[in-house]
Structure 1
Amino acid sequence: MEYTSGAASWQKVLRRAVAGLLPRRPRQRRPGWSIGVPVIAAAAGLLFTTTATTAGGTSLREDRRPQLTQLIEDRREQVAESEERAARLRAEVEDQTATLADTDGPVKAQRDRAAASRQAAGFTALTGPGLTIELNDAPQPQVLPKGASNDDLVIHQGDVQAIVNALWAGGAEGMSIMNVRVLSTSAVRCVGNTLLLHGRVYSPPFKIVAIGEPAALRRALAASEGVQWFMEAVDHYQLGYSESASTVTVPAFEDSTALRSATVPR
């Protein structure tokens, strides 16, 4: 057995004590990529799982315009069927009312009173002098005019409303849009560059026919501020506008006649 001197033993003890007091060198850190790789892999897995769940076995990049077109066509057919059924029901009500009027005096009196107002209400076709106006989108140029956008090249709801309001102000007795009779309370709306009227969608060109004195109608168009702005756009962006005077016909109003409000005549 080997013995060490007391001095050497004390030296070792002191070295260990000093080493314990000194700060230890930090261990070498793991490279950042070794931590990032698992995180990225987990995120990618979550993304793939979410995509698969959303797709439901279909392609997310599939062009669904054909399905949308078919949906619109199906809805149009449903609307057409509903309109035909409503027309048959109205005819049945009219026939039964006429039969009842033969034996019921008050019913006959009210029926005659309503018939006298049918023309003023727009429920009969009208023929007379008037204007035919056609609005159309501008041709698509190779390069848009400076400061213009594609919205400037199409007919908007405000353009149609400006023409219609001016014609009413000019004394129009009857009016049709796309051969559909409209009243002063008819709403004209646009969806993109298509016209929505009484639940039907129409594409340009938009044809407006108004019965009235052509000279008075033209004066009203010229005096309308909205029409003036539209005519500036016609000149600047080459929007389509045509106007002609002749003997015209507007059909009878065939939309729903359900009352939303009424007052008792005095």
Structure 2
Amino acid sequence: MDNRSTAARKRSVWRFGVPVVCVAAGLLLGATHGVSGGGEIRRSDAPRLVDLVRETQASVDRLSAQRDALAGQVDNHHGDSPGTAAALAALTKRADALAPQAGLTPLQGPGLVVTLNDAQRDAQGRFPRDASPDDLVVHQQDIEAVLNALWSAGAEGIQMQDQRIIGTSAPRCVGNTLLLNGRTYSPPYVITAIGDATAMQQALAAAPLVTLYKQYAVRFGLGYTEERRDVELNGYTPPVRMKFAQPIGPLGY
């Protein structure tokens, strides 16, 4: 008798429990559909900043190849008239004379190599406990501070990674990577300058933002080195075109 009562109670629980579970599942599915609008709640194809940078770099590579092909066509077509050939020769001669000042040709000489790097873990694989993520990486302002100090010391030419820095170059930090002329680089960041190494080191020592970076390097383990040696700079290869440049007036404005 007791066994039959127990079995009856179990059947009663299943009889009422199963419909309740089904109703709850239906309500959950309905709420999910209403929130998502019929689409996926967590889409895996959402664009990320890193993906956008990679797509931009691929576009730059494609356009660079197209530019080189068109430049080759222009070089092979000098015009039919003697006047056109003479004008082209004069422009080419002038461009060749200005190329070294614009940083378009390679340069060799004594100089200084400055290397900046993100913080590295210690022997136990740890970072300082009180460090935030921003304290452990090289920032755009750190790179700009070094570049400005080198220029102020009279550097004849500067190169960052494998690219020559000219007046229109603009290093930009994207996350923990560097974007320069459509190409991305990871640390360490190597800045190479030709000029008076002593004057450049003095300018770096006097630059407030460089001094602040050195303090962070000591506190949080960021990398910073200066090396005096003979160096060689590449010539700037991307096209040089100023779309909005205007002549400066006699008073500079």
1:49 corresponds to which of 33, 48, 52: 33
| Cα contact 2:127–2:220 (8 A) shared by 1 | no
| Cα contact 1:101–1:107 (8 A) shared by 2 | no
Q: Is residue 102 of structure 2 the alignment partner of residue 121 of structure 1?
A: yes
Q: Is the partner of 1:241 in helix, strand or coil?
A: strand
Q: Is the partner of 1:96 in helix, strand or coil?
A: coil
Counterpart-to-counterpart distance in 2, 1:254 and 1:201? 16
Alignment of 1:85-234 (within 5 A): 85-97=66-78, 104-140=85-121, 144-145=127-128, 147-234=130-217
Deviations 1:116-168, CA, capped at 9 Å, x for gaps: 11100111111111111111110146555354201101111111111111011
Indicate the percent of aligned positions where both proteins have the same amino acid.
Answer: 34
Residues 213 and 102 of structure 1: CA distance in aligned 2, closer, same or farther (over 3 Å) = farther
Q: Which runs of 5+ in 1 are unaligned?
A: 1-39
Residues 136 and 85 of structure 1: CA distance in aligned 2, closer, same or farther (over 3 Å) = same
Comparing both chains, which one has the higher relative contact order based on Cα–Cα distances under 8 Å and sequence gaps of 6 or more?
2
- CA positional deviation for 1:232: 0.7
- CA positional deviation for 1:104: 3.6
One-letter code aligned to 1:151: D
| Cα contact 1:137–1:239 (8 A) shared by 2 | yes
Residues 169 and 54 of structure 1: CA distance in aligned 2, closer, same or farther (over 3 Å) = farther
Counterpart-to-counterpart distance in 1, 2:204 and 2:46? 40
Counterpart-to-counterpart distance in 2, 1:100 and 1:221? 55
| Cα contact 2:79–2:85 (8 A) shared by 1 | no
Q: Is the partner of 1:132 in helix, strand or coil?
A: strand
Q: Is the partner of 1:129 in helix, strand or coil?
A: strand
Counterpart-to-counterpart distance in 1, 2:111 and 2:84? 42
Alignment of 1:27-66 (within 5 A): 44=28, 46-51=30-35, 53=37, 55-56=39-40, 60=42
Question: Could you tell me the TM-score, scaled by structure 2's length?
Answer: 0.75
Report how many aligned residue pairs link the two structures. Answer: 224
Counterpart-to-counterpart distance in 1, 2:175 and 2:71? 34
One-letter code aligned to 2:167: S
Counterpart-to-counterpart distance in 1, 2:221 and 2:180? 25
Moved more, 79-88 or 236-245: 79-88
One-letter code aligned to 2:70: L
Q: Which runs of 5+ in 2 are unaligned?
A: 1-23
Question: Could you tell me the TM-score, scaled by structure 1's length?
Answer: 0.71
Q: Is the partner of 1:80 in helix, strand or coil?
A: helix
Query: Max radius of gyration: which structure?
Result: 1
C-alpha RMSD of the superposition: 3.4
Residues 134 and 264 of structure 1: CA distance in aligned 2, closer, same or farther (over 3 Å) = closer
| Cα contact 1:135–1:155 (8 A) shared by 2 | yes
Q: Is the partner of 2:33 in helix, strand or coil?
A: helix
- CA positional deviation for 1:250: 0.9
- CA positional deviation for 1:94: 3.7
Counterpart in the other structure of 1:83 = 64
Counterpart in the other structure of 2:247 = 263
- CA positional deviation for 1:235: 0.8
| Cα contact 1:102–1:108 (8 A) shared by 2 | no
